[in-house]
Chain A
């Protein structure tokens, strides 16, 4: 299917916080209570609509295990958005956020939009991290924040879509150089210069960021 833009996302965070389940809920609208360990990286994709534009989200779901860190780190580069996930029922996963964030900032492009996600909001009785703490951490580090449940699907759509909206706005503001694929944004075939009827925001260089689509 054709799209106006493709955004590359990466999902990061400690092992067992529900990264793969968030992805599965978002792409397949289902929950799998027992999920195999992710080895390295897996992929998902879904089309969304923002501002009347078809946007394809290409999501790289990474392994949380420490032993895979050097491999997953190499995937940060070239992502336009990151979902940094912790588990509200495990304080250690929240405590590790600083390390994850440093890692992400160091290995990604500086404009990458980072969404902080406190997952497993359905497990209120086992909560160890208050929502306010998540909000405070996000505020302090300039992140967007949401609590989600991959199980009930609460806020899962919003988490992925709000991140996309933020990226889209940055494109409109000209913050992202959309002609540089290392920024994790690709202009879709329907925007290519070879099809001028659909607007010429194409990758042929020199065009205004987001040009032709607003």
Chain B
């Protein structure tokens, strides 16, 4: 089912040839904010409400007033931290987007026409119309094919709200742009032989089969490529624009894209996606932390020792070493090892370790606990010139899940949540809490998934008892972090998709079959095709 896990450890290495030097530039405080503080648009909060939502004493759980604003009436809930930062540094976004063929050069700043953005309610109608209006020039050209996709994103910010807000406002446009770049390969209906594309190998002339030496690139890999490029582009945009705007901090990013019959889970950070099918929790992302990324980080330091500014050691030891340990034996491990080996302690080993601490307290360069995401371009080790960013990467890991292989029921869903949730709730427990909550609502009730999201966030937030937040059910500490959760029902997409001609198929033949299915579905719209 999980057809592919892509590890992109190597892809980050390429970008390091030119090492960042401390740049001369305006102090960030003098610059204008790129975006003022806000909450996700679909919450429709007034300024007053944004203020109330930041009440650290009551920690109100915020949910969309109109659940229909989210695609498929997906559930969403968020709560602010218990006081660690004045604002909620998590952000979230949804969008229903559309690309069309022939591709046109998108104008990133003004081209919002074919986006539903965060405000989507009807979901399907408007993008169509607007896309058509925008693409008017090319309409006469051919039958414009459209590819619709649905997007959800969770961004967990740190050291400020700027990067997370910017990513929540912008990343889906980058994804749309990168998909547009390959729209001619994704939307092949008038061409032959496009199911297996040969980019750069004359695929447009339909003679792909005559070039046996070309590699076969599937549409799935074109989408994965587009998603990967969009993540890097997002980070580059923050890097560029921080010279003219104040964009504080950094953020992790977890994105779900439903397109061509598949779910693409794109993760750069320690937010997590868990799919629940038939009551069973299936992890859809891996958390990136200093511990889980130790070898990548150590390898980077090994290749570029000057990144450690002579202040840190890339090796890991079972404990912090002191002067008294000099000349004695210790165990260590480096980037090539998962196990441990002995060595004699030298002066170099007394430096602070590149990765130090356990669990949630584990830090890279004694500074940061996340290793992937956007922003942080100016983050340095405290009282040092040592830049953190070279060790952080925007490169995501992508998992795909075939949404057409099986039918989904109303109690099958995807949870996407920030680490505020996962720190205190295990995957299966989270699914169980949601399943329990779902039983209290009719499957067609638009509040169903929102209520479940609220229950889930409540479960992690707990209640204030005395001075601390606790989860009374289990008498365990609750999460004092910002908590954000989407509960995305899965049956809509599968059903909706049956009425669409575009699927990721291995051959032209199966594509044709899907088109026939669609014709039938249109002739006799069954009870399954009522999605708004």
Are A40 and B58 within 8 A (Cβ)?
no
Are A43 and B464 within 8 A (Cβ)?
no
Are A39 and B463 within 8 A (Cβ)?
no
Are A182 and B57 within 8 A (Cβ)?
yes
Contacts of A77 in B (CB 8 A): 57-58, 464
Query: Can you give 18 contacting A-B residue pairs, CB < 8 Å?
Result: A36-B65, A36-B66, A39-B447, A39-B450, A39-B454, A40-B61, A43-B48, A43-B60, A58-B48, A60-B52, A67-B451, A68-B454, A70-B458, A73-B463, A74-B59, A77-B58, A77-B464, A181-B57
Q: Which residues of B contact A (CB under 8 A)?
A: 48-49, 52, 55, 57-61, 63, 65-67, 77, 440, 447, 450-451, 454-455, 458, 463-464
Report how far A182 CA is from B60 CA in the complex, Å.
14
Nearest CB of chain A from residue B393's CB, rounded to whole Å:
37
Are A67 and B61 within 8 A (Cβ)?
no
A48 within 8 A of B: no
Are A74 and B52 within 8 A (Cβ)?
no
Ranked 9 nearest A-B pairs via Cβ: A45-B48, A78-B57, A43-B52, A74-B463, A67-B440, A43-B49, A78-B58, A71-B458, A39-B63
Nearest CB of chain B from residue A3's CB, rounded to whole Å:
12
Nearest CB of chain B from residue A77's CB, rounded to whole Å:
6
Interface residues in A, total, Cβ within 8 A: 21
A75 within 8 A of B: yes
Contact A39:B58 (CB < 8 A) given known A58-B52, A67-B440: no
Which residue on B lies nearest to A45, using beta carbons?
Answer: B48
Contact A41:B60 (CB < 8 A) given known A70-B458, A77-B464: yes
Contacts of A37 in B (CB 8 A): 447
Contact A71:B454 (CB < 8 A) given known A40-B63, A42-B65, A77-B57: yes
Report how far A45 CA is from B53 CA in the complex, Å.
13
Are A60 and B60 within 8 A (Cβ)?
yes
Contacts of B63 in A (CB 8 A): 39-40
Contacts of B458 in A (CB 8 A): 70-71, 74
Nearest CB of chain B from residue A185's CB, rounded to whole Å:
12
Which residue on A lies nearest to B446, using beta carbons?
Answer: A36
Report how far A71 CA is from B451 CA in the complex, Å.
11
Report how far A182 CA is from B59 CA in the complex, Å.
12
Contacts of A42 in B (CB 8 A): 65
Determine which of A39, A41, A58, A60 lies in contact with B451 in the assembled complex, contact meaning CB atoms within 8 Å: A39
Report how far A58 CA is from B60 CA in the complex, Å.
13
Are B60 and A75 within 8 A (Cβ)?
yes
Nearest CB of chain A from residue B50's CB, rounded to whole Å:
10
